Structure 1
Amino acid sequence: MGSVYESVIRPVLFRGDAELAHERAIGWLKMMGRFGPAIRMMEHYNRPRHGEPIELFGLSFPNAVGLAAGFDKNALCWNVMGAFGFGHVEIGTVTRHDQPGNQRPRLSRIPEHEALINRMGFPNDGAEAIAKRLAKRAGSKRRGIPIGINIGKSKPTPLDQATPEYIETFNILADFADYFAINVSSPNTPELRRLQEADFLRQLLGELNKTNAERARKLGKERIPMLVKIAPDLSFREIDSILEVVQDVGFDGIIATNTMIERPVDLGGKDEAGGLSGKPIIQRSSQIIRYMHLATKGKLPIIGVGGVTDAKSAGQLFDSGASLVQLYTGMVYRGPFFAKDIAQALVWRSAEWV
């Protein structure tokens, strides 16, 4: 299926605007969501053979490969992604207020490097609208695969008001999340990355963790696992500071990494603003994951994301210390069943069958 996509379907999709192609794909997947029995059959068929669920954060992941935030921003098609072999889905980034994002065009392909540059700016329908959408399906007994909700700061909100806004967004969406990802690392919202600084981060993560614990106590439930998503452009000293805060406040893990501002390769004139994703960032994401894994002696779970374009690069993130991986740009270049192929390859690899 991958070869058919790359040789026949992808050239057609790549003729037009990148964001328009993405919107059409979301529309098609949303329509597919109406056919529940077919989705369940596909989920069974596309499950890795001989694979075992991965237990992490108190959750059970059918396989090691998740869909990264940024694809299903508005929770329109998350419920069908298990049919294509994904073991979890992270929706969003969701902000407290609906916002259109940055001016178009804001998404570019770089096919010769299997990369994307985006400056989306968190376009989404807002927390309340997305909570209503999730309530129709995410509250059902059959969840299929775990759902992560990635939350961020609304563009107009000043940094000193970021913490109460994140808390409000958390409270609106908490009934529907298997875990939360706290996005403080997108390069496309002004000043957002300052929230990675120790003082801002300690207040934000500490208050979110406190709110999470209080909610769990009141409802008699387990607290929701919480992770923070960091940038690939950090120095090791900055990473040390983040690790100290994350462990001090009792967060459950880290997602590494977001898109990159730096351009590590010659992108053929593609020097436009925005975050780089795809094949060119695999070395940096692996380096950061390896550093954090060693610094924490493997005690802090890491979800690796950034540069997964084949089984080798996925394995590279695991060898660096990741417990799960996520992908998005790789699917753009390899096709909708790319997650299935990677998940199966990782099962064979872990069993030393290849």
Structure 2
Amino acid sequence: MLNDFIQQFGPSTVGGLVVGSIYALVALGYTMVYGVLRLINFAHSEIFMIGTFATLFVLTLVAPGPLSGLALVGMLVLLFVAAMAISGGAAVLLELLAYRPLRKRNAPRLAALISAIGASVFLQELFALVVIPDVFNRPGRIDAPVPRLLDRDTVFTVFGAEVKTDHLVIIISAVVMMIALDQLVVRTRIGRGIRATAQDPEAAVLMGVNIDTIVRLTFLLGGAMAGVAAVLYALEFENISFRIGFVLGIKAFTAAVLGGIGNIRGALVGGIALGLVENWGAIFFGSQWKDVIAFVILVVVLLFRPTGILGESLQRARA
């Protein structure tokens, strides 16, 4: 068993970094919404799913096949912009229809949670029954293949693991987008409004912050990050479905809790940590146990460290 771990450590680590980057991007949506509204937006997984189908739509329309060089860069930019716009717009619409009426009526958080679950199921069935058959002209409940965008050439080898083109694209893209979001929240006026609303909504209103605008922007940014994750997921796994967000969404939520939900940098740490532990654990227990490992981690974190890895620093920031 130990020999297997040593032999597979390199490939599993590379795979963990790749999938962990995707978890981290999706986790950003959970952690931002929770930080501002104290709401666990379980429909965020379907915002990710919408982004994967936006990716498929663009690739079906304009991708001629595997690309390289400037053509690949241009295509990636187009995919990111399209998926971020559609997923971000869907997230804003979700907030407007599912959450804002409850917030205006000061409904209990349980009502918002039930609304989130209902919205999640509604979006899944909407795509399965209407969008996929009508827009993509394929059965709604059957997985859809995604055209390959880039050749998976080996760039270099580390610890016996081949690091391929798609691995580098995913990891670099995810890190760049997370740094950009972090800097936006830390350094811009919009970010100050988000942080002020998260720390003390009443004081933020007295200082002239428009809470509705901040909430809308929070959903937009979280949805945009889910759109980026959707592009990267589609490029890596080349297969999507209407139910794709369910398990991945729970894992991204686990990553957010592990890193410290409400903490943007914690989402990055939690996503990478979950991806690595999940892949390393699969060496010992088998790949069929990956989902179990992720959910066991969620239970253990909630039992013994519910604030997460970086949760305590966030609490001190609010004190």
- Greater per-residue strand proportion: 1
- Greater per-residue helix proportion: 2
